[in-house]
Structure 1
Amino acid sequence: MTANATDFYHSERRRRAIHGWLLLTPTLVMLTAFAFYPSIATVWTSLFSRGTRRNPSEFVGLENYARLFEDPTFREVALNNILYAAVTIPISIAIALVMALWANSKIPARGFVRSAYFTPTVLPMIAAANLWLFFYTPGFGVLDQILSLFGAPSVNWLGQPGTALWAVCAVTVWKESGFFMIFYLAALQTIPEDLREAAEIEGASRWTYTRRVVLPLLMPTTLFVLVNALINSVKLIDHLFILTKGGPSNSTKLILYYIWESAFAFFDAPAAAAMTVIVLIVLGAVAALQFRLLDRRIHYQ
């Protein structure tokens, strides 16, 4: 290779590198401003004590984390969130898959069915919560009106610890199932029609075709939906403001609501920062575990 060719090669390589970095710069700026810097600042804040005018904050290391694990309210909130996630995630995904399979089939008014399923998703969180208050209001709500037809007594769905969290779970399932359905519906429409025709020629039933062909091909979508559902399970706060405000007796208080309460109601920013760091670590670990366990099944390795 001549000197001129070598210089041209290195010049072209530098030009492409500069062009690539210029394309990445807007994304890097946004990620730094809204992801990297806030994350680092949150970790740093969690290592200091709560400051006041007379007693400024001091470096305390992991003391905030140790105090959190000794806090009974934090343990209760964590258990609430685990139960909430364990209920809402599988039910939402299962209902979304069933709705997508039905909405993708040849049924009358298919467009109307798809729109009806997706409507709860486009409703604002506050509007959806207020709508469900109409169902849950003791004595006057739709649920109590239906139960009264069978002689059942009135139930304070949001006012007693035994039913409040389940009522919030029902709202979440109703709100998120249509959102997850869209991803499944899009994935179903990418499956070649030849596979269904081949299954029919081989004499496979609809259930066998769904179980042996459709569901395996939907595994990448399922993993994507599962990770999104996991993230959504720890960021619920809008509904709680309208429905329960974390009560009664902390029975519906979830982790993000407790973080908000610690930071803006109790003005304990270090404790809120410590909880945020714990949530980020747990979410990252669970998501990595999900990818590791499901990757082989998705790619048939």
Structure 2
Amino acid sequence: MSVVNERVEPATAGVRPWRSYGLFLLLVGPNLILLGVFTYRPLIENVRMSFFDWNLAAPGASFIGFNNYREWLTRPDSWTIVSNTLIFTVVSVCGSMVLGLMLALLLDRQLRGRNLVRSIVFAPFVLSGAAVGVAFQFVFDPNFGLINDLLSRVGIVAPDFYQRPGWALFMITVTYVWKNLGYAFVIYLAALQGRRIDLDEAAAIDGASRWTYFRRVLLPQLRPTTFFLSITVLLNSLQVFDIINVMTRGGPLGIGTTTMVYQVYDETFGNFRAGYGATVATIMFLALLIVTVLQVRMMDRSQS
């Protein structure tokens, strides 16, 4: 006679005790409440407001459906502003990340005074954007600015950064890259200090060139960091307002340096068209959501 020993599972197996759920709600609940009140509720309210014609000076708003969206699609200045936004964002993201990686590679070495240099590189990131904008006004001033003085010494006439839209957009982009460079630098530096040393030693033993080592060994290890920076720097670049407001106020020629986030401010508080400003904000949110989803999918495919 054989006896079969069967393991009897308790009736509560696989069921999380109520205390665990209570602890989960206690820890996560306040964060969810804050997100709902200060993030998702304003987002939903902004989308709702985009379907209204609301003058901030008026007591009420009138429902107009998709008229604000039709106006944005048909206005000629919308595409100029979109172009300004794309140029500013792409150059800012690429410039900050490339220069940040280069500085991180340089200052990851055993150099005298590297800690001081690291602090100097990171310092502009913690400064106020308005203060940085005021300081760089003296750098780009066409009469007595630093760039004008340096170019005049070699017989070159400095461009008028404040009267030509292309140069004005270049000016605010350079200013923002200089301010935001320290963020990408310190993130890349932390990633470099956490890389696998055994792979470096294996590449040295195999006699890999510097370019081969950088492309085949180092960059794959920095891929998660690059993905993280591409999203965070993109978000930060799209929200730049203070530097533009201080240096150009969206000009010259009206919209020479106006980006979508500055248009939201200008339409809402300058033209008192809160409904149209909400429309621009909603379009910018949807575009950013699509870009972020595509970035996540590309990252998942590269890791699979």
How high is the TM-score relative to the length of structure 1? 0.92
Q: Displacement of 1:55 after TM fit?
A: 8.8
SS at match of 1:151: coil
The letter of the residue matching 1:296 is R
Q: What is the aligned counterpart of 2:246 among 242, 245, 264? A: 242
Which among 7, 20, 23 is matched to residue 24 of structure 2?
20
- The answer to whether the Cα contact below 8 Å between 1:139 and 1:155 also exists between their aligned partners in 2 is no
1:99 is aligned to 103
Q: 1:246 to 1:216 in 2, by over 3 A?
A: same
Which residue is equivalent to 1:42?
A: 46
The residue aligned with 2:297 is 292
Q: CA 1:8–1:100 in structure 2 vs 1: closer, same or farther (change >3 Å)?
A: closer
2:265 aligns with one of 257, 260, 267: 260
User: How far apart are the structure 1 equivalents of 2:61 and 2:262?
Assistant: 24
- The farther-off stretch of 51-60 and 171-180 is 51-60
**1:1-301 to 2 correspondence within 5 Å?**
6=11, 13-51=17-55, 56-249=60-253, 250-297=255-302, 299=303, 301=304
Number of residue equivalences: 297
The alignment partner of 1:218 has SS state of: helix
Cα 1:7–1:106 shift into 2, 3 Å? closer
> Paired residue for 2:3?
none
Percent identity between matched residues is 33
Q: Let me know the Cα RMSD of the aligned residues.
A: 2.1
Of 181-190 and 117-126, deviating more is 117-126
Contact 2:55–2:272 (CA under 8 A) maintained in structure 1: no
Shift of 1:32: 0.8
Structure-1 separation of matches of 2:54 and 2:104:
49
Q: Any gaps of 5 or more consecutive residues in structure 2?
A: 1-6
- Cα offsets for 1:39-90 (capped at 9, x unmatched): 1100111111225888942222211111111122222111110111222221
Q: Deviations over 1:119-161 (max 9, x none)?
A: 2212211111111111111220000000110122243212222
